[in-house]
Amino acid sequence: MNTKLLTTTKKDIAEAGEIIKNGGLVAFPTETVYGLGANALDEKAVKSIYAAKGRPSDNPLIVHIAEKEDIVPLVKEVTPAAKALIDEFFPAPLTIILEKSEIIPDATSGGLDTVAVRMPKNETARALIKASGCPIAAPSANTSGLPSPTKAQHVIDDMSGKIDAIIDGGDCDYGVESTVITLATGVPTILRPGAVTKEMLEAVLGRVEISPAVLSGMAENETAASPGMKYKHYSPKAEIILVEGKKERFEEFVNTKKNAFALCFEGDCVNIPHLTYGSESDDLSQAKELFDALRRLDETGAKKVYARAPHKNGVGMAVYNRIIRAAAFKVIDLNKPFILGLTGQTGAGKGYVGEMLTSLGYNVIDSDSVSRKLTEKGSPVLPVLQTEFGGDIVKNGELDRALLAKRAFSSRERTDALNRILHPAIIERCKAQAKGLSVIDAPQLFEAGLEKDCCRVIAVTAPKETRLKRIIARDGITKEKALLRINAQLPEEYYIKNSDAVLINDGSTDVKKAVEETLEKVL
C-alpha cells in the first residue's frame, strides 16, 4: 500500500476525512501523541487498525470526538462525574471511560461493556473528526510494543506501507498519551496517568484512586482494569534499566559503566555516551522528549541503557509510568543501600565467588561469620536456642555447633525453627555492615527473606556430585551427612527461578571471568 503524506491544510484534511469515511486508516497529530484513526462505528475499519499495529484484539481503543455533546450517543449515560470532567477539561489530554451504548462495536471496545472517549485539543485532530463525519477510534500510531510516536517521522518509520495516509502536524505538545480515568466502577480510578494530573481531577471529583498497576507491574495472575496495562510497552530494542537516585549518585554509578549508554537529564555530568530527556525540574519537558529519546537510542545501537528516573509527582507520574514500562520494571534504587545478594547451595563454591567480588572492590559481608558471632559465649541468643534444641547444646557457656547442626538439620521443620531464631538478627547485623557497594554472602538468603533488601541476587550452583565431593573434603564428614545437608536446602530450580543470575561453578569454570560477566549481566 502506498501511504500518502498529507499536511494540515483544509484540502488535505478533507481528503483524510474522506479516507476515514470510506473505511480507511489515517494517522493524525493530537496534543498527546499521533493517533491511528478509523471510523469507530465501522467494525471492519477498526479491525484493520489492530492489524496495522500488530495489536492484540482485546486491547480496546479510545474513541475521539470533535464536540462535547458528541459523547452522548456513544455511552449509556453521561454520569454527573463525567459531565463535571467534560465541562472542566474537554477538549483535553483526558480520556473518560463509561458504560458503552449499543452503537459501539465490540472491536472498538475490545469486547468490554465500556468505552473510552476523548475530545482532543489539537485543532487538526478535531477538524479531521468533523471532516470524516464520525467518531474516530485511534490508538497511538506506533507498532504495538514500541514507544508512541510524537513526531510525524516516528509514524512514517512504523506505519509506511500499512495505512492510507499520515497527516504531518509537527511535534506533539505533551508527548505522553492522555490520562485515562474510569468512571464505570465505584471510585473514579486513573488507569493511565497523563498531563491531566490526579490533583487536577481531584479538584473536580473529590476522591480519585490510582490503579496499582500504574507505578508497579502487574502480577502474572492479575486481571487488568485496563487491558493495555498487561502488554509490553514503550520498549525500544535496547535493554533499559531505570536508576533511582539523586544526580550525584546517578553520575557516580553510570560513570563506572563500560559498554553502556545513559539516558539522563540536561546538565547531568555523564562521561559515557548518553542522550537526555528534558530537565530534572521540568516534567513537561521530560514528557515531551521521552519517546523520541527512546527511539533515538535504538538508532545509536545502544544495547544497555541506564535511565535516570524522574520524580513521580504531577506529570512526573505519567513520565515515570512510561519509563518503568520501557525498562520492563528493572530498577536499581541508589537511595537504598546497594546490596548484592550472593547465595547458592552448600558446596557450590560460593565462598570463592565472594573472594572474587572482594578483589573487585566489593564490601563482602559473610553472613556465616555474622551468625557465628551472634552465637558466641554470652550471647542472649544461646538460651533461646537451648529452649528449642535442648540444654546440652551449650557446654560451659560455649555453643556445641556440631550438636546444634545435627539437630537443626535433621528435618525441614527443625531447620525452620533454627531459622526463625537466627535470621532476623543476622539480617539486621549484615545490613548494618553494608556500606558502599556491598555483597551479602548468605547461604540461606531466600529462607531468611533477605532478597527483599538486595538490589540483585546472584546464585551459585554446581552439579550435585561436585557439591558432595567438596563438602566431604571441606568439612571431613560422611557422604550420608553431606547428603542430609544438601537435602535440607532449597532445590536448584528455586535458586534459578528467584535469582537475577546463576553462576555455574562446576570446577572447570573460570570463576573470575564468570563473576565479571555475571555483574555485567545483572547491573
Q: State the binding partner of 60 from ligand TXA, Mg ion, none, CB within 5 to 8 A by kind.
A: ligand TXA
| Residue 226 is a binding residue for ligand TXA (CB under 6 A) | yes
Are residues 47 and 143 in contact, defined by beta-carbon separation less than 8 angstroms? no
Are residues 175 and 195 in contact, defined by beta-carbon separation less than 8 angstroms? no
Please name the residues in contact with 22: beta carbons below 8 A apart, sequence gap of 6 or more. none
Rounded-to-integer distance, Cα 380 and Cα 288, Å: 59
Q: Nearer Cβ to ligand TXA, position 294 or 353?
A: 294
Query: What's the min distance (Å) between Cβ of 172 and ligand TXA?
Result: 9
| Residue 140 is a binding residue for Mg ion (CB under 5 A) | yes
DSSP states of 306-361 as a string? EEEPPP-STTHHHHHHHHHHHTTT-EEETTS--EEEEEE-TTS-HHHHHHHHHHTT
Take residue 167 and report the three cell numbers written for it.
497527516
Residues 228-247 that bind ligand TXA (CB under 6 A): 228
Q: How large is the greatest C-alpha to C-alpha distance in the chain, in angstroms?
A: 98
| Residue 172 is a binding residue for ligand TXA (CB under 6 A) | no
| Residue 122 is a binding residue for ligand TXA (CB under 6 A) | no
Take residue 23 and report the three cell numbers written for it.
473505511
Query: What's the min distance (Å) between Cβ of 311 and ligand TXA?
Result: 22
Q: Nearer Cβ to ligand TXA, position 48 or 140?
A: 140
Pairing mode, if any, of strands 35-39 and 26-28?
antiparallel
Rounded-to-integer distance, Cα 475 and Cα 473, Å: 6
Query: What's the min distance (Å) between Cβ of 104 and ligand TXA?
Result: 9
| Residue 109 is a binding residue for ligand TXA (CB under 6 A) | yes
Q: Looking at 26, 46, 96, 115, which residue binds ligand TXA (CB under 6 A)?
A: 115
Take residue 34 and report the three cell numbers written for it.
499521533
What is the arrangement of strands in the sheet containing 94-99, beginning at the earlier edge strand?
A: 4-6, 165-167, 26-28, 35-39, 136-137, 62-64, 114-118, 94-99, 179-182, 189-192, 209-210
Query: What's the min distance (Å) between Cβ of 99 and Mg ion?
Result: 23
Which residue has the closest beta carbon to Mg ion?
A: 140
Query: What's the min distance (Å) between Cβ of 206 and ligand TXA?
Result: 22
From the list 330, 333, 141, the residue with the least C-alpha distance to 238 is: 330
Phi, psi of 26 (to 5 degrees): -130, 130
Query: What's the min distance (Å) between Cβ of 141 and Mg ion?
Result: 9
Query: What's the min distance (Å) between Cβ of 183 and ligand TXA?
Result: 11
| Residue 318 is a binding residue for ligand TXA (CB under 6 A) | no
Q: Nearer Cβ to Mg ion, position 233 or 407?
A: 233
Rounded-to-integer distance, Cα 104 and Cα 450, Å: 51
Q: Looking at 46, 92, 117, 138, which residue binds ligand TXA (CB under 6 A)?
A: 138
Beta bridge pairs of residue 282:
279
Q: State the binding partner of 276 from Mg ion, ligand TXA, none, CB within 5 to 8 A by kind.
A: none
Residues 289-318 that bind Mg ion (CB under 5 A): none
Query: What's the min distance (Å) between Cβ of 190 and Mg ion?
Result: 16
Helices 283-300/316-326 angle, 10° precision: 20
3-state class of 37 per DSSP? strand
Residue 199 burial (10 A CB sphere; 0-12, 13-18, 19+): exposed
Chain centroid, CA 346 distance in Å: 33
x-marked contacts with ligand TXA along 14-53 as a string, rule CB under 6 A: ----------------x-xx-x------------------
Query: What's the min distance (Å) between Cβ of 253 and Mg ion?
Result: 31
| Residue 197 is a binding residue for Mg ion (CB under 5 A) | no
Q: Looking at 139, 188, 193, 278, which residue binds ligand TXA (CB under 6 A)?
A: 139
x-marked contacts with ligand TXA along 175-204 as a string, rule CB under 6 A: --xx-x----------xx------------
Take residue 338 and report the three cell numbers written for it.
546497594
Query: What's the min distance (Å) between Cβ of 140 and Mg ion?
Result: 3
Torsion on CA atoms 372, 378, 383, 388, rounded to nearest 10? 10
x-marked contacts with ligand TXA along 343-382 as a string, rule CB under 6 A: ----------------------------------------
| Residue 444 is a binding residue for Mg ion (CB under 5 A) | no
Q: Looking at 60, 188, 347, 443, which residue binds ligand TXA (CB under 6 A)?
A: 60
Q: Side chain identity at 353, as an amino acid letter? A: V
Residues 75-94 that bind ligand TXA (CB under 6 A): 93
Q: Looking at 16, 45, 62, 459, which residue binds ligand TXA (CB under 6 A)?
A: 62
* Residues making contact with ligand TXA (CB under 6 A): 30, 32-33, 35, 59-62, 93, 95, 97, 109, 112, 114-116, 118, 138-140, 177-178, 180, 191-192, 226-228
* Residues making contact with Mg ion (CB under 5 A): 140
